[in-house]
Structure 1
């Protein structure tokens, strides 16, 4: 958290803004706010955190990764392919994911609590490691070297004491599958992952807003988000998650309101003409920064990031509104009429000499 605050404050220019002359005149007032958060990576031990993965080598050196997380826009297939490929010393495009049929896949708890990369990725890493051990054992026999002296890189098994002594993964896999001496085999790993711990993600959010005191409208001009999600398996996907989170949370903070008619129970916000989702024209300047600190429990140091980007945006905006006009907004969303009502209440409480 300290790193998130330090980096965010520097990128946002927090000290400079807080130290500037804050006397403001005119109808538009500018304010700056920040918020921090921590969010779970999975929900152990509250929920069942059971994930499974299978990794199978094919005769051409590619692998099938058999998993079944819920792809809800978090680009989980890409992250799982990278985790599997990194452990096996192959490329992400060599990993073929089979995950749309529960008659084939093993049990999977699901994708919630920002757990997919952490838990499903953990099972994937373990399964890949198990399959790789079988591959290396066979390669050691083919190269006539100790298995402990082998490593895999760029689809090739190398003997570390003699780089010229190596063999392609595809050759090892083909030899094992099409062996005709009664020892034929298919390298295969199956592992479960059920953490007994939780590795929280941390974040700091900085917002700059403009508040029109005549109309009550709040405009978000800039947002800086800094996240510690461990090692980002795919930094571009993480940035995309955080940018989407900012868009969602601006809507939660300012424009999106789910209305039900009390007399009938009928939902009145039935379409995007009445339920206002921010568009590209409503988006502020966004700065995303990732604190790359590997977590010892996650696959290759990764923690969750799916929901984390949403948590602190609305509080940061609310704090910026307070900084601009001196009223605390404690309910969401914050449409213009609520801002005007809060300003009117604030002015009504002032002595006549100040009004």
Structure 2
């Protein structure tokens, strides 16, 4: 059954409950057996619009429990290794580093929330622990392995406020609830919205809201949101591939309690001897930029502003699930230049590895180039320095590039 999605006003605090952090999509090994029974519970029938309104009306702000996030984007090993080493910023206690790791593999963590101003997330991967704590205007990140701490004042500042940047609290705020909200905002005339089979998630009866592309060409088969039948809290968020197989992203609870967490859950004092770095450390940002600039990707210098270029220009072609971004680096450097440098004597081995990971040559009205493919994203890198990228299959990507030339 399809439904039109109506815009419903929401209180920001309703979507501040942290369950998992996706940085991305945006989240997996098959977690369905761990979360759902083979036959779902018998629940009263609801329409898609009623279920959307139930999510919007939920005012649950306190919870604690354990959750998992598992991501299988089909990235090449070089990119996966970079993420698992801690992203690009180079600081083991920095939230940016830890959260980047969520873009690949499976991770388990404890979560707690008491409204939009108090949240805690503790990674349980291996014997070492990493915790993120947001309490009012302060945030801490602590890595037990290195005994390093990251501290940030005014952690609640939101992006978009004049003079403000993304803060740790923003990164902690991503959750199945927020993922659901963003998915529903994006659902329009290109999306079928329906109610799927019921399920049990973390021992709770749940409805499942299903979003599917109306047209072909997307690598996304559907988005499925498991919604608590009693209080409307999204308990699990899944992104499924149009080609089947295990989910691309699976983020959700395996245990949850809606009681108010103890106040001391959100307090933190660095252990004796811990090295503490303040979030305002300017050298940190410089190090992140240098590492980003060193990545062997053609045209990246123009997109990131290295060498004073900064002429990147992006145009969106198509609409909805089949939209493609066309990026012109403005650097004057194309794939041919990169291929030449990658094959030079003494070139970094990562450059050759990246080149080898690209697909076959393609040609069209756009010119010629190579297609880089993952389970989710296909990217066409042209010889003249343009990039066409989208969550669409190869044929749709090339067709869109031809039409958008």
* TM-score computed with the length of structure 1 as normaliser: 0.20
Q: If each structure's helix is expressed as a fraction of its own residues, which one has the higher value?
A: 1
Q: If each structure's strand is expressed as a fraction of its own residues, which one has the higher value?
A: 2
Indicate the structure (1 or 2) with the bigger Cα radius of gyration.
1
